[in-house]
A and B are shown apart, each in its own frame.
Chain A
Amino acid sequence: KRVAVGTPKRNIHMSNIVEEMIFDKQDVLSTPKLKSKRSLAFGKEKDIEKILLEVTPKKPVEETPKRVQRSNSKYVKDSETPKTPSQKLKMIRSGELTPSFKEREGIEHSKLSKNDLQLARERLHVSVVPLSLPCREKEFENIYTFLEGKINDKCGGCMYISGVPGTGKTATVTGVIRALQKQVQEDMLPAFDYLEINGMRLTEPRQAYVHIYRQLTGKTVAWEHAHALLEKRFMTAAPRRITTVLIVDELDILCNRRQDVVYNLLDWPTKTAACLVVVTIANTMDLPERVLMGKVTSRLGLTRLTFQPYTHKQLQEIVTGRLVAAVSGDARRALDICRRATEIADSSKGKEICVNILHVQQALSEMIASAKVQAIKRCSRLEQILLQAIAAEVTRTGVEETYFMGVYTQFESIANFMGGILVPNTGQVLRLCSKLGAERLIICEHTRNDIFQKILLNVSTDDIHYALRVIPEA
């Protein structure tokens, strides 16, 4: 009975912590102030609880270490920088230690020393996202109105965005968020919280809870705990709650077999208390119908948006928006090709600094070139004969899959026909096989199968004929 009395009390207490933290964070982002405020509040509560503790013995074992930890970390902060790594880890977990990166020692190259091509290359880098994305105005408008409406009405909702990689989904969504945040600053829109998670950055779907909770409070806790706390936050009504916008990138990775994570993420917006808007992003258009369970799909709703791959003209606009035109369906790809072209132009030391069509063509052929013909040409003579033998065996049997023994017979006859070659023994030919297999010109089984291994050509026979016919004549 005593436990039954104790549990609800603690629960309320926990949700209080969460609420308090979030509201404090909105005001100022200074941790020490927040700390002291809370520790004051805690001091009062502590006293009350102490009295309670004396009345009800041997109960809150879980709460005591927590408080100890907090005072401990505070102590560390007050005194000196931490010495032991475990203390450091504690600080990382509590969010007090911000991750940093080593700075350069040399002076950075000033903008002045760069020539036009270098500047162009910098601007063409994929990481430089422009303030307004060209050719995505309609999608931008669509997402903007959706989010703006939800924030104004203080209600929750879901949206699903799909499209092949490199079509500007994430860039557009973050652009919308940026525009909305600007509106908030100008007091045109009620304030909102912005959280984002990426499925590929998690080691496991359930880590999503940990990441969301950390973005809310800055603390790292175990996922079970994070889940419980988030559940509390979104289920219980709070008077001063503001809308939370959650962006979920790479949604398909979050789908495990039980789909509990996706379900929870999409179930919270349906609660009136949550004020949560979830925007999910994935590659496939029919992901909800194909992978997700019925109850999850129904919660995802029908607000969907598809990003079409860029057409030739749109890509041209993007590149000229940054600079100069290319051929591909992926904006990242197009930009990389352009960047490579500027490098080629730079190294060719042209007097007039500009990228001509030859440079682009060279970059293009470098990036989408298939090297198989080249690889066959550069094989040793016996490897070439082996490839020919496999092709001959395929023609003889009419089956794609050949056996080593048949290939070896063909090999012997071709080598004898060519003359002047000492025919290698089976062991040597097996070695040649595994070498070609490592390069993936052929696909072969493990060598333990010895002369019974199956061999499959991984290049077309036309490629082999083309590559080998040219050599003897030249």
Chain B
Amino acid sequence: MSDGAEELLQIRRFLKERLQRDYTTFRGHDTERENIRQLLQRTAEMAESNSLLLIGPRGVGKTTLINAVLTDLLNNPDFIQNTLVVHLNGYLHTDDKLALKSITIQMQLENACDGKVFGSFAENLAFLLECLKAGDKRSKSVVVILEEFDLFCAHHNQTLLYNLFDVSQSAQAPICILGLTCRLDVIELLEKRVKSRFSHRQIFLFPNADDFSEFVKLFETLLKIPNERELKKHAERVASLKLLQSDQLTFHQNHYDPGKYKFNKRITDRWNKHIDALLQQNNVRQALQSLFDYDVSEAGLKIFIYRLVAQLQNHPGRTQVTSEQITQLISSYNNDTKVEILCGLSILEMCLIISMKHHSEIYDRDPFNFEIIYARFNKFAKVSTGMQNIERGVVLKAFEHLRNLELILPIASCASKVQKEFEMHKLALTYGQIHQAVQRYQVLPTEVTQWSQSSLI
């Protein structure tokens, strides 16, 4: 028994690690991958200067693609010896000054020392450009990876982009600029002289949205345990990452290591067979289809599987992924969080929400203030049995609570000098959500339920 528990623990750890920390496995998109690989290879071997933009929606695997290509090229000794990889991110390097310091450090120029750069911004730029100018076909090639490329376009005058692209288009040190972004219209953000210097190579990376069977297959590969030979092949690939001696590309430091795992063949067979059987079931396919309808990206699927795998435990009935778990998890995706917040409100707050709904229905979503809602609530409270002597201060507190939960939003244009009872608000809920909440609320008094259906008392 304890042996089985040990195995299960190992399976769970393996699957989790592979889901989270496998930064270099990229599936599909062979033409795009080959294209980028050749481009980088030519930069390294022939000392050609190039520029490229990789565009695709979030979660499609742009960074993974670059990592995978770099891993492929690690087998090529030419590439390791003759290239410097410079890695910049638009969220970290928020202006040209920071980006330039980072480039200077990563290229190990002479005015950098142990991660510290000397001199002012202007001096750094001048020195970097002179260094690049001093280089020629015989100098090492530089691969500059610009993640969140669209944010670099927002820098002052686009100085950094101009200079990088200008180097790539003149007889200087060989340089390859790879921009990664999710904006389709990123070219329009470039200034015209920067645009003219860019080589207009764009590679679009779109998820495979037409084919549901591919999605199911991906689900299968992410859940199944590979056999020994595949594991070994992976382990070799991961081991080669050690060659990558970059401080900036940190993905190799914490990469998942399949070499650590060894599975009993009998157990993996049973596990994989169970997954096969699972995928034959209709409700599983339906659940996956609804996930596929919502989000086609691999990242979304990985998060879903992670949650699924995390449920594995050494209890009877929990040692395998079951179809109930899948359908349950999918249906939890469809829970409306706002309805859940509403169900956690007190009855007084619920009454205020209902007053707001009546007001909005009557006046076609006109804004309201506390006084309006209080008057409407009072009309109801007077005739109700349980709400008669609630003080005004208590109601105001409940109103403020609703405001803090952002179920009601203040109108921004409103002057700030207005007293809080008179400040105008709008209701950030649809009527359907309120209706659902009234239905699902535990022990709501009948009179409130009735009142919610009609504003007439």
Residues of A within 8 A of B (CB): 85-86, 88-89, 92-93, 97-106, 108-109, 118, 121-122, 125-129, 164-166, 200-204, 207, 210-211, 214, 220, 250, 253, 283, 330, 332-333, 336-337, 339-340, 343, 347, 366-369, 371-372, 374-375, 377-382, 405, 408, 421-422, 424-428, 432, 435, 438-441, 449-452, 458, 471
Contact = CB atoms under 8 A, between A and B. Distances in A.
Contacts of B207: 378
B293 A381 contact: yes
A98 B130 CA distance: 9
Interface residues of B, number: 92
Interface string B428-442: 111001000000000
A57 to B, nearest CB: 35
30 contacts: A88-B118, A89-B119, A92-B119, A93-B119, A97-B110, A101-B173, A102-B108, A103-B138, A105-B82, A106-B78, A106-B82, A108-B138, A109-B46, A121-B48, A122-B48, A165-B197, A202-B125, A203-B125, A210-B126, A220-B123, A371-B202, A377-B209, A377-B210, A378-B207, A380-B293, A425-B334, A426-B338, A426-B433, A427-B338, A438-B58
A60 B185 CA distance: 60
B122 A102 contact: no
A101 B57 contact: no
B170 to A, nearest CB: 5
A225 B235 CA distance: 60
Nearest to A207: B122
Grouping DSSP codes into helix (H, G, I), strand (E, B) and loop, the B interface class, with mixed when no group exceeds half, is mixed
Contact of A200 (B126, B140, B183, B193): B193
Contacts of B113: 85, 88
A175 B116 CA distance: 40
A109 B209 contact: no
B430 A405 contact: yes
A337 B336 CA distance: 51
Interface of B: 34, 38, 45-49, 55, 57-58, 77-78, 81-82, 84, 96, 108-113, 116, 118-119, 121-123, 125-127, 129-135, 137-141, 157, 159, 162-163, 166, 169-173, 182-185, 192-193, 195-197, 199-202, 204, 206-210, 290, 292-296, 333-339, 406, 409, 426, 428-430, 433
Interface centre among A122, A367, A372, A427 (most CB of B within 10 A): A427
Nearest to A223: B122
Nearest to A105: B81
Nearest to A85: B113
Nearest to B412: A449
Contact of A450 (B123, B137, B184, B409): B409
A200 B30 CA distance: 38
A102 B204 CA distance: 33
Contact of B157 (A89, A200, A340): A200
Contact of B428 (A103, A104, A368, A450): A450
Contacts of B206: 374-375, 378
Contact of A367 (B77, B200, B433): B200
Given A200-B162, A440-B185, A109 B201 contact: no
A440 to B, nearest CB: 5
A204 B38 contact: no
Given A104-B47, A201-B159, A378-B296, 5 more contacts: A126-B169, A200-B159, A207-B122, A427-B338, A440-B184
Contacts of B108: 102
A270 to B, nearest CB: 28
Contact of B139 (A89, A102, A207): A102
B110 A100 contact: yes
Contacts of A427: 336-338
A166 B165 CA distance: 13
B192 A165 contact: yes
